[in-house]
Amino acid sequence: MLTSPELFASASPTQPALGSGWGASNVSSRIFIDCGALRHNAAVFRAMVGEGCRLGAVVKADAYGHGLAHVLPALHPAVDALYVIAPGDAVRIRAWESTYHRPPLPLLVLGVLDAQEAVELARVGSAAVVGDEGWRTWLGPLRAAGLRLSVHVHIDTGLGREGFLPEDVPDALAGIADASDVLNVVGVLTHFADTEDVTEQTYARRQLARFREGEASLRALVGDRPLERHTAASAPSMVLPESRLDVVRVGISIYGLWPSRETRISARLVKGELPELRPVLSWRVRSQHIKDLPAGSYVGYGCTHRCRDRTRVAVLPVGYHDGYPRALSNRAHVLVEGRRCPVLGRVMMNHLIVDVTGVPGQPEQVEATLLGRCGGEELSADDLAGWAGTINYEIVARLPAHLPRITVSES
Ligand SMILES: *Cc1c(COP(=O)(O)O)cnc(C)c1O
């Protein structure tokens, strides 16, 4: 039911030009990626970490749900390194670079690998993390392929996830120096456990001390050579300057989102002012149907909402299959023409029903902003996360690949 395409073309100036974004299909929500905001956030981090430290961006989980292919054009030229979890993503990035004639950036696969993947990464010139004993199985296949893989050693300093405990380094990595024909140890890293949920960094400082122990043990094994040292994700990059070392691995905040409320408070204390991060992602959907329901009508599965008065509802073709959390049932708002419109009843697999009674002019179709700015209003990933009882990371990272993503430049 496409009633009025001009409606969307003449959206408010704070919204991207939708004429190009919506295309023929009217039955799907759209994610808009603001590459200007990405560039801005990268510049904020570059200024913050200064000249002595490189800026790396984490693009795991399809760039935190933003879409790897959609962030690379703006992000790739703005950073010094990229980090992924899945080896396939490193291969995709190399293919993208070659297609668009971009110089290859240093890439590091943070996740676990089998021997075949290790060979593939060596082939495309990506580095890998050695974080468990599996590295020994890589040696034969790398030798057979005549390839050498650059590796960073992960030290588990208190997260309990990947990596070697500092005291286990000598045994777990014994012999790695003799494998230097196929493994080139070029870096050492760790990952913090408790930088986001606190406003003091006692545990992180303990982790840094453990990191130095692990680094010393590693140096004893591999001899005198330059090792790139890195520990800081978004929050520690901002709130714990001594964690920045040679390169920072900025994930969530490159996309303009704060790791937590506590990080925001601490960042203001550390820097004296609040760094301005700009959210990169907006999410919009056109209504599939609008109708008036008489007073007393129920809305949605379970009849959890009952209309007190006559209510004009818009049915939106988006649901939990599309990453809109069911936990937002009867809690969230969407924005229509700069007004907050409550979600009525339960979020369904492919549908959402909102109250558009207050939208003037009784339009036959509306565009709803599920996440992002609309007029003078904004719904942030933090708002959705708060209503859904989760964190902004989960809201964006679970936006599925099937949603069309459109690159725009607003900021
Ligand atoms: C995800 C991740 C990061 C980035 O974390 P953010 O909090 O999103 O900045 C950095 N390092 C490692 C090892 C990670 O897994």
Encode the chain (411 residues) as per-residue pLDDT tens digits.
333 333 333 333 333 444 455 554 556 899 999 999 999 999 999 999 999 999 999 999 999 999 999 999 999 999 999 999 999 999 999 999 999 999 999 999 999 999 999 999 999 999 999 999 999 999 999 999 999 999 999 999 999 999 999 999 999 999 999 999 999 999 999 999 999 888 889 999 999 999 999 999 999 999 999 999 999 999 999 999 999 999 999 999 999 999 999 999 999 988 888 999 999 999 999 999 999 999 999 999 999 999 999 999 999 999 999 999 999 999 999 999 999 999 999 999 999 999 999 999 999 999 999 999 999 999 999 999 999 999 999 999 999 999 999 999 987
Residues in the chain: 411
Nearest to 114 by CA among 100, 99, 96, 135: 135
Task: Name the residues annotated as catalytic.
Answer: 60, 301
* Cα 85 to middle of ligand 1, angstroms: 10
Structural tokens at position 33: 């990626």
User: In this predicted structure, what is the pLDDT of residue 257?
Assistant: 98
Structural tokens at position 258: 């704060």
Q: Global pTM?
A: 0.93
Say if ligand 1 is within 6 A of residue 252 CB: yes
* Cα 247 to middle of ligand 1, angstroms: 13
DSSP 196: S
- Listed in sequence order, the DSSP H helices in 232-352 are 234-239, 261-271
Residue minimizing CA distance to atom 1 of ligand 1: 251
Say if ligand 1 is within 6 A of residue 249 CB: yes
User: In this predicted structure, what is the pLDDT of residue 23?
Assistant: 55
- Listed in sequence order, the DSSP H helices in 50-103 are 60-64, 68-75, 87-99
Q: What is the dihedral of CA 50, 56, 62, 64, to 10 degrees?
A: -40
* Cα 312 to middle of ligand 1, angstroms: 44
Residue minimizing CA distance to atom 10 of ligand 1: 233
184 vs 182: CA distance, rounded Å = 7
Structural tokens at position 261: 């409320």
The letter for the amino acid at 23 is G
Say if ligand 1 is within 6 A of residue 191 CB: yes
Residue 381, burial from CB neighbour count under 10 angstroms (0-12, 13-18, 19+):
buried
* Cα 360 to middle of ligand 1, angstroms: 44
Residue minimizing CA distance to atom 13 of ligand 1: 191
Q: In 39-54, which positions are buried (b, 16+ CB within 10 angstroms) versus exposed (e)?
A: bbbbebbbebbeeebb
Q: What is the dihedral of CA 57, 59, 157, 239, to 10 degrees?
A: 40
60 and 255 Cβ atoms separated by less than 8 Å? no
User: In this predicted structure, what is the pLDDT of residue 13?
Assistant: 33
CB atoms within 10 A of CB 358: 12
Structural tokens at position 248: 């920072």
- Which backbone phi and psi does 182 adopt, to 5 degrees? -120, -20
CA-based angle 165:170:174, to the nearest 5?
A: 125
User: In this predicted structure, what is the pLDDT of residue 22?
Assistant: 57
User: In this predicted structure, what is the pLDDT of residue 28?
Assistant: 85
Integer angstrom CA distances of residue 203 from 34, 92, 239, 285, 357: 36, 36, 13, 43, 51
Tell me the best of 85, 191, 192, 231 to mutate to test the pocket of ligand 1, counting ligand atoms within 8 Å of each CB and taking the most: 191
Residue minimizing CA distance to atom 3 of ligand 1: 233
Say if ligand 1 is within 6 A of residue 396 CB: no
